[in-house]
Amino acid sequence: MPGQPGLLRTLIEDLDVVVARDPSLGGRWEALGHTGLSAVWAHRVAHRLYRRGLRSVARTVARVARRRTGVEIHPGTVLGRRVFIDHGASVVIGQTAVIGNDVTIYQQVTLGAVGWWTDNHRPPGARRHPVVGDGVILGANATVLGPVTIGDRALIGAMATVTEDLPPGARVYAARSVVRPAPTLRPVPDAASDDGQTAGPVRVCAPAPDAVRMLASAGSW
């Protein structure tokens, strides 16, 4: 779990890990504009304010960072060293979460609680969010809920949901999408005359059930 070196050293490590893990960047100067880095740096400041009892100020810093980066990290979250948030869009990390060193977090990851209907019955001060070990990778849209513990060097794949403890080195993958063959296309007359003859060009479309499925899978509904 994370140690706490000086703030300046921690910020430099954050910068260097972005350069090391994002091949699209050409160096430190370019990395300074990285969204994930801005979110992590803002949280470093907010967390120190939070620990000193300046909770309203800490929340203000976190809100500004969320609006600018799309990353929502509660000021109470304990963030380890060299945490890399790639892309950053829609990442949410809850108040009592603890994140270890060298963790990689992709977009739309949620480290959240189960829900108020459960958390309201926990003892005061009880942990509600995950503990993530060192070297863990959280794939895009991965979700980890509740006071679970993710072991060191575990990998949680894209779209996977975790609600129980994972041992070190575990691999969790979501079910793959089902690939079906393309539907058989049939000609449909554009318009017909009174004698039943095609009066216009012939269009080709999928049978009705297949067409409905195609629209639904494309997000048209």
How much is the mean pLDDT over the chain? 88
Q: How confident is the model at residue 201 (pLDDT cuts 50, 70, 90)?
A: low
For 68-85, what is each residue's pLDDT tens digit? 999 999 999 999 999 999
Q: Helices 55-69 and 35-51, interaxial angle, to 10°? A: 170
Question: One-letter amino acid identity for 202?
Answer: V
Q: Is residue 173 within 8 Å of residue 139, measured between CB atoms?
A: no
Asked whether residue 186 carries a pLDDT value surpassing 80, the answer given is no
Neighbouring residues of 44: CB distance < 8 A, sequence distance ≥ 6: 7, 10, 11, 14, 79
- At 9 the three-state DSSP class reads helix
- Residue range 180-208: average pLDDT? 63
For 115-162, what is each residue's pLDDT tens digit? 999 999 999 889 999 999 999 999 999 999 999 999 999 999 999 999
pTM for the model: 0.80
Q: Is residue 136 within 8 Å of residue 1, measured between CB atoms?
A: no
Which range among 19-23, 36-40, 62-66, 177-181 shows the weakest confidence by mean pLDDT? 177-181
| CA distance linking residue 155 with residue 200, whole number of Å | 57
